[in-house]
Amino acid sequence: MPKKTFRLAGEEVEQLEKKIRKHRRKIVRVILLLSVLALIAAGSLYYIYETKTYVDFQVLESAEREDSAGTMFAEFNGNILKYSNDGAFYIDAGNRLIWNQTYEMQSPILDICEGYVAIAEQNGKTIYIMDVSGPCGEIQTNRPIRQVHVANQGMVTVLMEEEGTGYIQLYDKEGNFLAEGELNSKNSGYPLDISISNDGKKMAVAMLDPNEGNIKTTVAFYNFGSVGQNEIDNIVSSYPYGDVVIPKIEFLTNDIAVAFGDTKLIIYEGSQKPVVKKEMEIGQEIRSIFYNHHYIGLVFEKENSQQSYAAEIYDFNGKKIRTFEFTMEYDAIEFLENDEVCIRNNLECTIYTLRGTQRFHYNFEKNIYKIIHGIGRRYIFLMDGTTDKVMLK
């Protein structure tokens, strides 16, 4: 009986292992090649998607809607809030009613924070608080209301004015009184604007002091948590600005606030005691401001031009990330939910991406009141009498 030879078997195993390794390397190369091709294809499609301009749209669904005169619209938690002098109606894109709040107001003003909304009568004394499920509470103030702000847990801050003195009151979401403060024009200045952080713990106040013939605006930050309890009047930081008027201040996130002045733009940051993060000199008159939770937008009239505008987009570090020009006369400019910039008047709309590419332009035959972004090329157009779900084409 012949002896078994293991040498040949070992060589065969070694050859087999080499073939397996070679085959595996080939599979890896194929997978890498296919991955690269897929990335290139995806990048190409994304580039085409981002740079293509659409000039028409297809109506996918349309729902008839009846509105009273002067109705205004806002996006609220994925649905539509329409409000007017005689009430607020929370509806979906199919015009199905989720809840309503009736009232009689000459000039309703509104503020939204995440899942809560507050509606007040400017120069009146009534405030209604609602969440996504319906009405939560009602507030009756003892002085005329100038502004109202709501936080993400339903707390409401009210700025009131009487005989030249400003008053700030805080209420919970059921309308129960929590606290009050006074802003006397002789001591602290005239309150131009207030804003509260999303969690309701911090408040920013811009106060104008015209004493001694020199205009000065002071921005003060209040903290209503444990940190502010150790400070006089809960003021945790304060910044004076000579020869500057700051008519607008806003918390854009829980820890980022921005003061919009006539010659300055100031960005503050801080979870407890906001400090100046960036101070920017503005060399020309601002025509419009717009913002969201990611970016700040400013619109200027171009020099030596009566019909051309420049929009500048900044991040929260004060870095300019985009400038684009347009000639369309507009009534509103705002960021959409996907950070696109929507410019519109009653019968015309232009949408720009953050790349500065004109994504969409259209001249409508009937009034358009609001545009809400959906997914991809899908949008909701709130037209005169209808709510249309559309796809750009």
Strand partners, 162: 165
Burial (Cβ within 10 Å: 0-12, 13-18, ≥19) of residue 186: exposed
Residue 12 phi, psi (nearest 5): -65, -40
pLDDT at 46: 62
For residue 69, give the DSSP letter: T
Look-up of token digits 């796809």 = 391
Give the 3-state secondary structure of residue 22: helix
| Cα 223-224-229 angle, rounded to 5 deg | 85
pLDDT at 173: 95
pLDDT at 298: 97
Residue 57 CB-half CA count within 13 A: 21
Query: pLDDT higher for 306 or 25?
Result: 25
pLDDT at 98: 97
Query: pLDDT higher for 162 or 253?
Result: 253
CB atoms under 10 Å from CB of 46, counted, come to 10
Give the tens place of pLDDT for each residue, 114-126: 999 999 999 999 9
pLDDT at 45: 64
Looking at the predicted structure, is the pLDDT value of residue 47 above 80?
no
C-alpha–C-alpha distance, residues 117 and 124, integer Å: 18
Burial (Cβ within 10 Å: 0-12, 13-18, ≥19) of residue 315: middle
The answer to whether 342 and 371 are in contact (CB under 8 A) is yes
| Pairing of the two strands 348-352 and 126-131 | unpaired
Looking at the predicted structure, is the pLDDT value of residue 41 above 80?
no
The dihedral through the CA atoms of 48, 52, 57, 59 has a sign that is: positive
pLDDT at 311: 96
Average pLDDT over residues 349-378: 95
Average pLDDT over residues 347-354: 96
The answer to whether 134 and 115 are in contact (CB under 8 A) is no
pLDDT at 51: 66
Give the tens place of pLDDT for each residue, 218-261: 999 999 989 998 898 899 999 999 989 999 999 999 999 999 99
Residue 37: both structure tokens together: 């091709």
Q: Which of 34-48, 51-65, 304-318, 361-375 has the lowest average pLDDT?
A: 34-48
Looking at the predicted structure, is the pLDDT value of residue 13 above 90?
no
C-alpha–C-alpha distance, residues 151 and 155, integer Å: 5
- Find all residues with CB under 8 Å of 39, minimum gap 6, and list them: none
pLDDT at 253: 96
Please give the share of the chain, as a percent, with pLDDT higher than 90: 74
Q: Which of 9-13, 37-41, 234-238, 294-298 has the lowest average pLDDT?
A: 9-13
Residue 119 CB-half CA count within 13 A: 29
Give the tens place of pLDDT for each residue, 318-339: 999 999 999 999 999 999 999 9
- pLDDT-based confidence at 353, cuts 50/70/90? very high
- Find all residues with CB under 8 Å of 273, minimum gap 6, and list them: 221, 223, 227, 236, 237
Residue 307: both structure tokens together: 């019909």
C-alpha–C-alpha distance, residues 329 and 337, integer Å: 23
Average pLDDT over residues 350-357: 94
Query: pLDDT higher for 329 or 41?
Result: 329
CA distances to 60, 212, 308 from 332, in Å? 26, 38, 15
C-alpha–C-alpha distance, residues 155 and 293, integer Å: 20
- pLDDT-based confidence at 9, cuts 50/70/90? low
- Chain mean pLDDT for the chain: 90
Candidates 311, 217, 212, 211; CA nearest to 261 is: 217
